[in-house]
Amino acid sequence: MFTVVFHTPEIPGNTGNAIRLAAVTGIDLHLVEPLGFSLDDAKLRRAGLDYHDLAHVTVHPDIEALWLALGPGRRVFAFSTSATTSFANVSYQPGDVFLFGPESVGLPDEVQCAEQVTERVRIPMLPSRRSLNLANSASIAIYEAWRQHGYPGAS
């Protein structure tokens, strides 16, 4: 129903947790290279537990390959601490894409401002805090979008 994209993720545990998130929610997870780890990394496998075979994960060599794979007409929400719109003020639609940047620096400006990006959004937090954990941010976004649609397919 929804898609999460990690653009050049750096920490294997976060991606492992996102793999688990994909398995339990049915989202698609896309990773844009370069990755800061190997997909065989023990920390990635440990964080994803035995959910790797239950998740749909696609790796793209660069952002252009991602845009091509997503195709036209998809709404893309770029998550950024510098955005002014709260993610909670968006009415999500099936097929929406949630785009997150690497843990250390967030989404580069050229990705946030790409023509494929529909809107930049943020997750509210207390002032003077740098950011949330990447996997936690993806979870917050997906569960809000899924909630808006009544958790289809969930038991």
Query: Which residue ranges are tagged as binding site?
Result: 101, 123, 131
Binding residue numbers for S-adenosyl-L-methionine: 101, 123, 131
Q: How many residues does the chain have?
A: 155
> What distance in Å separates the CA atoms of residue 123 and residue 88, rounded to the nearest whole number?
8
∠99-101-105 over CA atoms, to 5°?
Answer: 155
Structure tokens at 16: 């492992």
DSSP 86-141: EGGG----TT-EEEE--TTT-S-HHHHT-TT--EEEE----TT-----HHHHHHHH
Q: Determine the Cα–Cα distance for residues 121 and 91; give it in Å rounded to an integer.
A: 12
CA separation for the pair 93, 1 (Å, rounded): 8
Return the DSSP state at 34: P
